[in-house]
Homo-oligomer: A and B are copies of this chain.
Amino acid sequence: MSNLASGRGALFQKEKVDDLRHWVRENKPKGLMSKVMSEQEAIAKFMTEGCYLGVELYGSVRCPMSLVREVVRQGIGNLRLAGQGVLENDLLIAAGLVKKLDITYHGYEVFGISPVLRRACESGEVETVEWSNAALAWRFKAAAMGLPFLPVRSMLGTDTFTYSAAKEIECPFTGQKLVALPALTLDVGLIHVHRCDEYGNAQIDGISGFASEMARASKRLIISTEEIVPHEEIQKYPERTIIPYYIVDAVVHAPGGALPGEMPYVYWRDEKHMNLYFEQAKNAEGVEQYVEKWVRGTKDHEDFMKKLGGAERFEQLKAQATRR
């Protein structure tokens, strides 16, 4: 149909479903094998300069911050990034590692606009293509379903559509106008979970955000976890496995891995530290100092936790956690 529009944004990630199938067949481990490794190993092993990255959930909630900090430490740059983001994507942009951003929402929620994003976009350093929150989740869902696209009813009639890489289509049954979203496959996905076994069978407490879809849309999936539990624990409640082992490439044991954000039912966010970040993010020098001190200036996650106040601080935050 000639009257159907196409978004003018670039498709930052191009993958053919059939190619992915072949890649999965060759590269993903189908048997049970231990995938436990450190942040350093996991990031070094699976992330490459210029790769397309996705992080779940938000920077302030159940977000694999220990993995994100390790990406910054290793300085893996020219990243293409999917995202709704708060602290995680902000940190990557602040560290100068991001080139292209499939943006949905990037800000500090109740704390307002991100000055880091503003500087990066207004200077032209980061190129953006627009999507809605659900559209991005549905793009992951398309990939998770092994499909090249999904039809949806969002984004119609807006500049969000025009500055996206979506297309309008007509329903073959009803003739109604729909938006076709191109599947989005991540080169690397990072997800923080409550518990998993050494093989990667993972459980999440509370909302799952877009973990299920993003995990399945990731070529390489690194999960960090508050707790590694015996395999038997997983086998006892197999309906709780939201991420199956066969899509997981690395399991990183990271208690406090979501800090300074919260981990539902486990610990509350470190409001003091978040305020510190938001304060320093106001200008380029401030945020650079933050990155130097808190990320590059910490050897690893353990070191970060120590700097944050060690076991004592961690226990305070645990005590403030929302209870069931």
Tell me if A171 counts as interface (CB < 8 A to partner B).
Answer: yes
Which A residues, 144 to 167, have Cβ-Cβ distances below 8 Å to chain B? 145-153, 167
Checking B18, B173, B207, B237 against A180 with a beta-carbon cut-off of 8 angstroms, the contacting residue is B173
A146/B153 in contact, CB under 8 A: yes
Which A residues, 131 to 190, have Cβ-Cβ distances below 8 Å to chain B? 145-153, 167, 169, 171-174, 176, 178, 180, 182
Interface size class of A (residues with CB under 8 A): 20 to 34
- A172 in contact with B152 given A206-B239, A207-B239, A324-B237 (CB within 8 Å): no
Residues of B within 8 A of A176 (CB): 17-18, 148
Checking B147, B153, B172, B238 against A147 with a beta-carbon cut-off of 8 angstroms, the contacting residue is B153
Tell me if A208 counts as interface (CB < 8 A to partner B).
Answer: yes
A171/B148 in contact, CB under 8 A: yes
Q: A interface, by DSSP: helix, strand, loop or mixed? A: loop
Q: Shortest distance in angstroms between A299's beta carbon and chain B's nearest beta carbon?
A: 35
- Produce 1/0 per residue, A10-27, CB < 8 A to B: 010000111000000000
- A178 in contact with B239 given A167-B173, A169-B172, A172-B167 (CB within 8 Å): no
- Chain B residue with minimal CB distance to A203? B239
Tell me if A205 counts as interface (CB < 8 A to partner B).
Answer: yes
- Produce 1/0 per residue, A202-236, CB < 8 A to B: 00111110000000000000000000000000001
- Chain B residue with minimal CB distance to A11? B173
- Chain B residue with minimal CB distance to A14? B173
Q: Shortest distance in angstroms between A142's beta carbon and chain B's nearest beta carbon?
A: 9
Which A residues, 245 to 285, have Cβ-Cβ distances below 8 Å to chain B? none
Interface residues of A (CB under 8 A from B): 11, 16-18, 145-153, 167, 169, 171-174, 176, 178, 180, 182, 204-208, 236-239, 324
User: Can you list 29 A-B contacts with CB-CB less than 8 angstroms, sorted by A residue number?
Assistant: A11-B173, A16-B174, A17-B153, A17-B174, A17-B176, A18-B176, A146-B153, A147-B152, A147-B178, A148-B151, A148-B171, A148-B176, A148-B178, A149-B151, A149-B171, A149-B172, A150-B150, A151-B151, A167-B172, A167-B173, A173-B180, A173-B182, A204-B239, A205-B239, A206-B238, A207-B239, A208-B239, A236-B324, A237-B324
